[in-house]
Copies of this chain bind each other. A is one copy, B any other.
């Protein structure tokens, strides 16, 4: 089972993408963690270190998938 982390910041685009992840990501193949920067800002540097440039973003293993565009990481940090 591969670790997957969905990073978001609570924006409308983020919430839409979160519903997609919760609804359609295969739970038998991924252990999905949802990280909301508004609730845990300490995870921002972790996300940047793995290559997250904007939210919402899904990280599976070492692969980063930016989904649509809610906010840049700069906006998140200044937010």
Q: Which residues of A contact B (CB under 8 A)?
A: 2, 4, 16-17, 20, 23-27, 29-30, 60, 63-69
Contacts and interface: CB of A to CB of B under 8 A. Distances in A.
A66 B67 contact: yes
A65 B67 contact: yes
- How many copies of this chain does one complex carry? 2
Contacts of A20: 60, 63, 65
Contact of A67 (B4, B23, B67): B67
A53 to B, nearest CB: 10
A29 B69 CA distance: 25
A38 to B, nearest CB: 22
A41 to B, nearest CB: 25
